Amino acid sequence: MRKLAWLAAAAIAVIGAGAAEAQQTPRKGGVLRMTAPYSASFGSLDPHTTPRAQDDIVNKAIHRTLYNWDTAGNKLALELAKSVSTSADGLTHTFKLRDDVVFHNGRKMTADDLIWSYTRIMDGSKGYPAARYIRIIKGAVDVEKGQAKEISGLKKVDDFTLEMTLTDKVEPGYYFFAGSTAILPREEVEKGNFASAPVGLGPFKFKEHVPGSRVITEQFDKFYKAGKPYLDRYEILIMAEAAARDVAFRNKEIDTSILGPAQYVAYRADPQLSKGILEVAEMFTRAITFNHDAKPFDDKRVRQAINHAIDADLIVKRLVKDKAYRATSWLPPSSAAFDKSFKPYAFDQAKAKKLLTEAGFPNGFEWELTTSQNESWGLPIVEAIIPMLDKVGIKVKPKLVEATVLTEILMKGEHKSLISSNLTGPDSLATLRCFYSKTPRTACHYTNYNNPAFDNLLDAAAKEGDMAKRNDMLRQANNLLYEDAPVWFFNYNKAVLAYQPWVHGLQANPTEITHQYPEDIWVDASSPAK
């Protein structure tokens, strides 16, 4: 409980800081040197081809999507449309598009561009990752299978009015805000060199890409938000190696850095550096996914025992250095369906022992746990768990794999258990679908959890039009997960971005902290970058 109160206080502190900054007058001009910390290169600058968080850092500067995450309001908001109206059956949405959106090549964006972009994503021979979002539009699957040329659910009413019919009653924002659903100018894409010279409609124009090193973008003066962007130049520098990033940040060669637990402690302890730390509870839940097809994880008591046997609070505090919030159940605290009255599983090895004995494992068992090397949700966590579980007789044998193959292992169901970080937002319904018994394993149902009561709740929630009632049902479903413990609930990520004192206007984006909308960022005159 104390933990949650603290969490709320922290959230307020972050918002408060943002408000204080907003009172200053943003300065025009200057350069921001953002870091891309996740991988040693960008996959592609063609946003449709890439599902990667790393690439979205660039996409946010050059491209835009129909919806956006509104950090101040902590909700999804229309970006390329002024308004939307929904039909009575909740399936057809009519978007009034902005009429002041101009591509970097000078052409105005119209409804045709949305239709073309969404149709391109459904090209079945290319396997564009965003197809999983666009499939919600009626007729999109036919295009993917090659049975139709046009998506029947998309209709252009006039240049700035788009009618979109969906297959399900969902909030479209969840589907059309991912970077991989960006609206692209057809004529530029068809030139065939788009990934090397992307043209978008975002606040910054592409200038240079040195693969493996950096992307440089320049202010676009016809951006549709008045007076923005502030920066002359927005650079994204690749720096995957945390130790090197630390040196570069302290050396003022970069303006932002992502901190891991170890550096988080060091930066908080430093009187100067501690002034430039942005924290946000991201929508990621770290957990050990049990494969319920494999013994002994088919037994609820075993899973509960493990949840009791590990002192997760201690790990969060000492090893993760408070760079996370202890997980209660699957949905993160930022979800409307999060139940604040629940307490996480208590650390109680006696109870764990008892549960194990009841389940028929009085002496524990041997357990192969697949893990990556990630410092926040990989090997170090497993190393800390090993001696804890040893005390209740469970012998953990870690199996180290590369982070890249984790998903594939999960999809194939080759694991007995696997520790990973899972995206659990912002669409709580879609997030919980990962435990719906009819969801195929390959589409995130990695546990093979099966509880009819849970299925019923989800079915009802999907049909429910009233958001408050729907959230109520989702809350009950999430609480069911708590009870059934299909995973070991570890923590919700606290993403930490360090920034230099001259940087202002950063947003605490809970979907991914590095996904900054750069038009809001400005630097004051003390920035050394030119």
Partner 1 sequence: MQLKGGSSLWIGGGLVAAAILVAIFAPWIALTDPVMAANLMNAEIPPDWEYPFGTDAQGRDIYSRIVYGARVSLTVGIASQICNSLIGVTLGLTAGYWGGWWDDVVSGLTNLMLAIPSLVFALAIMAILGPGLLSLVVALGLTSWSFSCRIARAQVLSLKSQGYIQAARILGYSDLRIMFTQVLPNILGPLIVIATLGMGGAILAEAALSFLGLGIRPPFPSWGSMLSEARDQIRTVPWLSVFPGLAIFFTVLGLNLLGDGLRDILDPQSTTRRT
Partner 2 sequence: MLIVLARRLANIVPTVVAVMALVFLLFSVLPGSFISGMNEDGRSTIDPAVMERMRKEMGLDDPLPERFAKYMINVATGDLGTSFRTREPVTKLIGVRVWPSLKLVFAAMLFAISVGVTLGFLAALRPGSLIDTAAMVGAISGLSLSQFWFGLMLMYLFALTLGWLPSFGYGDGGLRNLILPAVALGVGPMALLARTTRAAVLDVLNADFVRTARSKGMSERRVVEWHVLRNALVLVVTIVGLQFGSLMGQAVVVEKLFAWPGVGSLLVDSVFQRDMPAVQGCILMIVLFFLFINTLVDLAYVAIDPRIRYR
Residues that bind partner 1 (CB under 8 A): 242-243, 246, 260, 262-263, 265-266, 311, 314-315, 317-319, 371, 373, 379-380, 382-384, 386-387, 390, 398-402
- Per partner kind, with CB cut-offs from 5 to 8 A, the member of partner 2, partner 1, none near residue 476 is none
The least CB distance from residue 250 to partner 1, in Å, is 9
The least CB distance from residue 103 to partner 2, in Å, is 22
Range 5-13, long-range pairs (CB < 8 A, 24+ positions):
7/281, 7/325, 7/333, 10/279, 11/281
Count CB neighbours of 360 within 10 A. 11
The least CB distance from residue 388 to partner 1, in Å, is 8
Question: Rounded to an integer, what distance in angstroms lies between the CA atom of residue 202 and that of residue 65?
Answer: 9
Cβ–Cβ < 8 Å for 478, 339: yes
Query: Which one, 28 or 397, has the nearer CB to partner 2?
Result: 397
- Per partner kind, with CB cut-offs from 5 to 8 A, the member of partner 2, partner 1, none near residue 24 is none
The least CB distance from residue 319 to partner 1, in Å, is 6
What tokens appear for 95 in the block? 């978007």
The least CB distance from residue 11 to partner 1, in Å, is 26
- Per partner kind, with CB cut-offs from 5 to 8 A, the member of partner 2, partner 1, none near residue 399 is partner 1
- Per partner kind, with CB cut-offs from 5 to 8 A, the member of partner 2, partner 1, none near residue 155 is none
- Identity at 62, one-letter amino acid code: I
Query: Which one, 274 or 442, has the nearer CB to partner 2?
Result: 442
Cα 214 to the center of its chain, rounded Å: 23
- Identity at 132, one-letter amino acid code: R
The least CB distance from residue 387 to partner 2, in Å, is 27
Question: Rounded to an integer, what distance in angstroms lies between the CA atom of residue 332 and that of residue 322?
Answer: 16
The least CB distance from residue 3 to partner 1, in Å, is 17
- Provide the angle, in degrees to the nearest 10, between the axes of the packed helices 349-359 and 300-309: 160
Q: Are strands 233-238 and 31-36 parallel, antiparallel or unpaired?
A: parallel
The least CB distance from residue 401 to partner 2, in Å, is 8
- Provide the angle, in degrees to the nearest 10, between the axes of the packed helices 379-390 and 300-309: 100
The least CB distance from residue 288 to partner 2, in Å, is 13
Contacts of 431 (CB under 8 A, 6+ apart): 330, 331, 335, 423, 424, 425
Query: Which one, 188 or 519, has the nearer CB to partner 2?
Result: 188
The least CB distance from residue 372 to partner 1, in Å, is 9
- Per partner kind, with CB cut-offs from 5 to 8 A, the member of partner 1, partner 2, none near residue 173 is none
Question: Rounded to an integer, what distance in angstroms lies between the CA atom of residue 21 and that of residue 66?
Answer: 28
- Per partner kind, with CB cut-offs from 5 to 8 A, the member of partner 2, partner 1, none near residue 237 is partner 2
Q: What is the dihedral of CA 28, 180, 282, 238, to 10 degrees?
A: -60
Query: Which one, 86 or 374, has the nearer CB to partner 1?
Result: 374
DSSP-derived secondary structure for 173-206: GGTS-SGGG----HHHHTTS-TTTS---SSSEEE
Query: Which one, 156 or 441, has the nearer CB to partner 2?
Result: 441
Residues that bind partner 2 (CB under 8 A): 38-41, 43-44, 46, 49, 51-54, 124-129, 131-132, 144, 178, 180, 195-196, 210-214, 237-241, 243-245, 247-248, 250-251, 253, 401-408, 410-411, 420-423, 440, 442-444
- Per partner kind, with CB cut-offs from 5 to 8 A, the member of partner 2, partner 1, none near residue 435 is none
Query: Which one, 235 or 246, has the nearer CB to partner 1?
Result: 246
- Per partner kind, with CB cut-offs from 5 to 8 A, the member of partner 2, partner 1, none near residue 84 is none
Category of 322 on φ-ψ map: left (φ > 0), alpha (ψ -120 to 50) or beta: left
- Per partner kind, with CB cut-offs from 5 to 8 A, the member of partner 1, partner 2, none near residue 8 is none
- Per partner kind, with CB cut-offs from 5 to 8 A, the member of partner 2, partner 1, none near residue 74 is none
Contacts of 67 (CB under 8 A, 6+ apart): 76, 77, 78, 79, 172, 173, 176, 177
What tokens appear for 433 in the block? 């679908």
What Rg value do the Cα atoms of the chain yield, rounded?
24
Cβ–Cβ < 8 Å for 299, 335: no
Query: Which one, 159 or 253, has the nearer CB to partner 2?
Result: 253
